[in-house]
Amino acid sequence: MVNIRMANVNDLIDMQQCNLWCLPENYQMKYYFYHMLSWPQLLWVAEDYDGRIVGYVLAKMEEDETKPPHGHITSLAVLRTHRKRGIATALMRRSQIEMNEVFGAQFVSLHVRKSNRAAFHLYAETLRYKINDIERGYYADGEDAYDMRCTFGEEKEEERVL
């Protein structure tokens, strides 16, 4: 059993540690602080029964005022020992709710490695993201990324049709 809760400043080191264990894309601590200070409502963690952080989502609002308000998922990670339990889905949904309700985001974007089939399945099938574009050489190792988007409100419209 895990608890999904809004992150606080005391969680940032554990979030970074989770990132280092799970992902090849890593961030300096100042980047976590920047997210926490700017959009605290968008950072969520999953903690196990003894309070250990086993997953997190790091998200932000895009600051380009010439475009419609929208959020961006910077990073999502769940420790391998806690995968396939719906934790990533729960973290994503909490952050997306806050983007929409607190900041008025119209959609959320993210990048995912073309080779990351598990993450692609989560985004495309479970969370209903759609491919917006392919960004060639997006990652430091030269791998391409899918630029994916989820427009808020589309899920409700699809449910009404069913």
Q: What is the pLDDT of residue 155?
A: 56
pTM (two decimals): 0.90
Model confidence over 61-79: pLDDT tens digits?
998 888 889 999 999 999 9
Average pLDDT of every residue of the chain: 92
- The span from the CA of 1 to the CA of 46, in Å, is 10
- Please report the pLDDT score of residue 160 as a whole number: 43
Distance of CA 82 to the CA centre of its chain: 17
Structure confidence at residue 145 (pLDDT)? 96
Q: Which residues contact 97 (CB under 8 A, 6 or more apart)?
A: none
Q: What pLDDT is recorded for position 154? A: 66
Q: Report residues of the chain scoring pLDDT below 70.
A: 154-162
Q: How far apart are CA 124 and CA 162, in angstroms?
A: 19
pLDDT in tens, 84-105: 999 999 999 999 999 999 999 9
Q: Which pLDDT score, from 0 to 100, does residue 23 have?
A: 83
Q: CA distances (Å), 14 to each of 67, 82, 111, 113, 157, in order?
A: 33, 15, 23, 24, 38
